[in-house]
Amino acid sequence: MGNIISGGITAVPCIKAAAVSCGIKGDKKDLAVVYSEVPLVSAAVFTTNLVKAAPVLVSQRNIKEKVTRAVVVNSGNANACSGLRGLKDAERMAALTAEYLKLCPGEILVSSTGVIGQFLPMEKVEKGIKMAVENLTEEGGSDSAEAILTTDTVKKEIAYRFMLAGKTVTLGAMAKGSGMICPNMATMLAFITTDVKISKELLQKALQESVKCSYNLITVDGDTSTNDMVLLLANGQAENPEITEEGEDYQAFLEALNYVNKAMARQIILDGEGTTKLIEVTLQGFKDYDTGRKLVMGILNSNLVKTAFFGEDANWGRIITAMGYSSSNFCPEKVDIFLGDLQVMKEGVGLIFDEASAKEILSHKEVKVFIDLKEGKDKITAWGSDLSHQYVTINSSYRT
């Protein structure tokens, strides 16, 4: 077990960051640079959307390099569906960051978030990159977490310290996400730094495994964006024996990484657009991960389920119905469903229950649902939100 500490993404030794307001979002912070004083190995998971923004294309190429040194990210403009000009602008962001840091463009990863279909105001962006590089500091993590937000209402960051092979290892993270949250990776941006010493290949494997049990199990609205990415950067300064195989040290690192990513995933759902409740669904008794994921995400993506939770209506029939059209095979006659600690279905049949008790359970900010299929040993937990009037209001006027 480890401990949560302060510092966010710059809690990791040799990591510096800075955030500035360059004018994309008026006087709000809208551009950040995260930089490692020493070379990093990096891993990434990108959007599965067929339509990929220019910064995703550039980062997909640059992540293949052996060494990464910095990330530049802007908010307020997605640089998506922007054609050849957009691609050149994303490459320009990498080249300028590299120039000011005296690095190679291939050592820079690029990320953007915001409105789709608009060209970046590059004169502002260029000035912003220069200002950010000039102001890099070990205390810049929190400002950077602010600079990457769009419709988010709060910053999302965490730092976590734990012991690995007798050495102190730190993980720092920041993320953004509020709407368009239904990843098949992640409809969001997340940046994670660590000082663990690990091979690039195992870093990538750890990230992919961790995404499966965190960002791939959250949903607000069923939409996947064009700019999604999770970046994991490791600079090896913890001086632990390098992790090059899937042994005890790898598992310890993966456990810590899962803790951080699940914490960030929950923060995203709690700040979901118009969200009044976080719904946590735990499913057990299924045979494989794909079956479990389809079932829990089918429940959490159902508008009827989401509106029932918003209205604090214990309409469990919507849950079993969503399971039934999820394209996963299970035996309905075996299913038990609980809202909190209140059982509402037993072996496929509805139970008589106290409506007042059910409403009290559903009135909480966080509501837990437990479902047992009784067909296997696997267990999975996913997180979603309700669907409120405010969600419609926010997304009906996003561009204006």
DSSP secondary structure letters along 9-64: GGGSTTEEEEEE--STTTTS--EEEEEEEEEEEEEEEE---SS--HHHHHHHHHTT
Cα separations in angstroms, 345 against 247, 313, 354: 42, 15, 13
Distance CA 60, CA 46 (A): 8
- Among candidate residues 187, 219, 224, 291, the one labeled active-site is 187
Does residue 179 contact residue 228 with C-beta atoms inside 8 Å? no
**Planar angle of CA 343, 346, 347, nearest 5 degrees:** 155
Of 122, 165, 160, 102, nearest in space to 31 by CA: 122
DSSP secondary structure letters along 85-114: HHHHHHHHHHHHHHHHHT--GGGEEEEEEE
Other Cβ atoms less than 10 A from the Cβ of 384: the count is 31
Question: Can 47 be counted among the known catalytic residues?
Answer: no
Alpha-helical runs (H) found in the chain: 54-62, 83-101, 122-134, 141-147, 200-212, 248-270, 289-300, 303-310, 317-324, 355-362, 389-396
Active site residues: 187
